[in-house]
């Protein structure tokens, strides 16, 4: 059942939660090649446990067996195991460029926010912040057209 191909990271991550037989049939070479990235992914949720296994002299098969026993649910892996890759990260950066600096200044002035506050929001909640600023832009345009119509 185990594939002999060297890069089986995502299949192994999936199997940690759902397929112990797959884990038991992995070759030592496959485990050794992927254990660092497996440990790194699991460290998202379990950093202290993963740090214990960051040792070159530890048996990688035993580490994988531990993670399999610890994480096995019989179901598919939770969302935190898959993080955004370079393409998605670049897409987030590109979406930030859609908002002009002048619009951000208007937004800050209207709501009495500092630019630092908005930068922090863009860092931690980029989608929500961008949506809110775009909604503000729409609101601003509607307000201007309303004022022009009533003059």
* pLDDT computed for residue 132 by the predictor: 92
Q: Where do runs of H (alpha helix) occur along the chain?
A: 9-18, 20-24, 28-42, 47-52, 60-71, 86-96, 101-111, 115-124, 126-149
pLDDT, tens digit (0-9, with 9 covering 90-100), for 22-78: 988 888 888 888 888 888 888 888 888 888 888 777 888 888 899 988 888 888 888
Q: Which residues contact 110 (CB under 8 A, 6 or more apart)?
A: 136
Q: How confident is the model at residue 1 (pLDDT cuts 50, 70, 90)?
A: very low
Banded model confidence at residue 94, pLDDT cuts 50, 70, 90: low
Q: Output the six-digit token pair for 65.
A: 């067996």
Q: What's the average model confidence in pLDDT over 86-97?
A: 57
Residue 89 has pLDDT above 60, yes or no: no
- Residue-range domain boundaries for the chain: 9-81, 86-149
Work out the mean pLDDT of the chain and round it to a whole number. 82
Share of the chain above pLDDT 70, in %: 85
Report which of residues 31 and 2 the model is more confident about: 31
Which of 3-17, 101-115, 128-142 is predicted least confidently? 3-17
pLDDT top residue among 60 and 86: 60
Tokens describing residue 122: 């863009």
């Amino acid at each position: 059942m185990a594939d002999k191909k060297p890069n089986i990271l995502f299949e192994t991550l999936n199997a940690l939660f759902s397929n112990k037989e797959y884990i038991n049939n992995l070759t030592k070479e496959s485990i050794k090649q992927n254990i660092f990235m497996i440990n790194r992914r699991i460290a998202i949720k379990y950093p202290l446990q993963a740090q214990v296994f960051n040792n070159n002299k530890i048996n990688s098969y035993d580490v994988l067996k531990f993670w399999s026993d610890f994480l096995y649910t019989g179901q598919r892996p939770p969302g935190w195991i898959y993080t955004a890759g370079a393409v998605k990260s670049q897409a987030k950066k590109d979406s930030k460029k859609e908002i002009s600096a002048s619009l951000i200044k208007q937004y800050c002035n209207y709501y009495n926010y500092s630019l630092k506050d908005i930068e922090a929001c863009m860092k931690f909640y980029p989608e929500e912040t961008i949506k809110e600023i775009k909604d503000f832009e729409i609101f601003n345009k509607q307000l201007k057209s309303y004022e022009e119509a009533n003059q």
